Structure 1
Amino acid sequence: MRINEDTLLEGHRAVLVPYGPQHVPRYHSWMQSEELQLLTASEPLTLQQEYDMQRSWREDQDKCTFIALDREQWSAPAVQEEQCMMGDVNLFLTDPGDPSVAELEVMIAEPRFRGKGVGTEVATMMMSYGITKLGIQKFQVKIGLDNHISISMFKKLHFTEVSTCSVFKEVTLELLVDPSVRSWILDRTSHVTERSYSQSRSQRPEPEST
């Protein structure tokens, strides 16, 4: 989805930027992990397939993707953006007849950033973006039954369990965006600033050559 191709969202701990070709090698290395493959129900891809997938996520009108960066590292002078990568967050418009319904996925790939509230901030930043920019009125998440941490996180974000699939070993949770939920999410993300990604990149100092 091209709507966010020049969007940067800066929060307390996380910075969300569009998924570009420069992020693919690091992302590809993450997805060689059997743990992440299991948690995301993904199959390993070749590097070329990963580049193809990145282009698909950028072009397809039913997908919106950001890479999550560590704000502390990102704010440091002359640090390569790829070194700041923590994970990603995605919205998938799963119902062709209703573009107000979206499936939300959050992956914090770097273990050192887990359990610190990063996933919660990234999720709420994306939910706020989905509500204000895409008109999302219902969020869904599908999580493996053994992924108790993610299930707990989304329940704390007021998602409720609606179904369990024993075949795929996953649970589906939903959040309807009524006026009170909208107000709660926008208030929770009032600290987030939005600006041009291309301008922010051009203003960053180049890393020193070694």
Structure 2
Amino acid sequence: MKINSEICIVGKKVVLVPYCSYHVEKYHQWMKSEELLNLTGSEPLTLEEEYRMQRSWYEDEDKCTFIVLDREVLEKTKNEQDAMVGDTNIFLTDPSDSSIAEAEIMIAEQKNRGHGLGKEALLLMLKYAVSALHIKTLEAKIKYGNTPSLHLFTNLKFCEVKRSDVFEEITLAVKVTEEWLEFFSQCVPQYVVQRYQRRE
């Protein structure tokens, strides 16, 4: 989406920045991993296809993507490629209803897992989805066996609504009600939207 192309979102541990062509080569290296391809339900792409995918994510009005940066590394190195640890996305899933979206989070770097970066990145993305994109129903599709992601979403009050043995995934969802927003607002540690200036 172009709506997020000129902003970044700053949290305590992570910074979310728009997915730019500058990030593609490292992202492409991540997606050579069989584990990540399986967990994200993705197909391997050539580098040229990855660049085309990045452009489509930038242009398409039904996708919103941020690259997740480790804030500590970014502040130390001033280099976004060094600080890249994953990505987070929102997809509008119903062409007739722009208030329904599917959320995704991926921490690609093994060494960065288990430190709360994925959780904070997801919280920032969900906050953006609700406040800027006016999403009213949030969904997530989690692969069987991806216990950390299942725990992450269920702890945010997402509930199972569907299970597919064919795709080996569970669909979770939550309605953005006043009650849920009150709970959710206590989960987000810090959320600052700034104008994006790429650091490399």
- 1:190 to partner: Cα distance: 5.7
8 Å contact kept, 1:89–1:122: yes
Give the whole-Å Cα distance in 2 for the aligned partners of 1:185 and 1:131: 11
1:66 corresponding residue in structure 2: 66
- 1:186 to partner: Cα distance: 3.2
How large is the Cα RMSD of the aligned pairs? Answer: 1.2
Letter in 2 for 1:159: F
2:55 corresponding residue in structure 1: 55
- 1:185 to partner: Cα distance: 2.5
Q: Secondary structure at the match of 1:100?
A: strand
- Unaligned stretches of 5+ residues in structure 1: none
Give the whole-Å Cα distance in 2 for the aligned partners of 1:107 and 1:190: 20
Q: Secondary structure at the match of 2:66?
A: strand
Structure whose CA Rg is larger: 1
8 Å contact kept, 2:156–2:184: no
Give the whole-Å Cα distance in 1 for the aligned partners of 2:8 and 2:29: 24
Q: For structure 1, which segment, 111-120 or 30-39, has the greater mean C-alpha deviation from structure 2 after superposition? A: 111-120
2:129 corresponding residue in structure 1: 130
Alignment: residue pair count: 200
- 1:70 to partner: Cα distance: 0.2
Query: Where has structure 1 moved over 2 Å in runs of 4 or more?
Result: 183-190
1:161 corresponding residue in structure 2: 160
**Are positions 1:176 and 2:169 aligned together?**
no
1:28 corresponding residue in structure 2: 28
Q: Deviations over 1:43-102 (max 9, x none)?
A: 1100000000000000000000000000001111x4321110010000000001110000
Letter in 1 for 2:46: T
| TM-score w.r.t. length of structure 1 | 0.92
8 Å contact kept, 1:131–1:182: no
Q: Secondary structure at the match of 1:184?
A: helix
Q: For structure 1, which segment, 21-30 or 158-167, has the greater mean C-alpha deviation from structure 2 after superposition? A: 158-167
Give the whole-Å Cα distance in 2 for the aligned partners of 1:190 and 1:79: 23
| TM-score w.r.t. length of structure 2 | 0.96
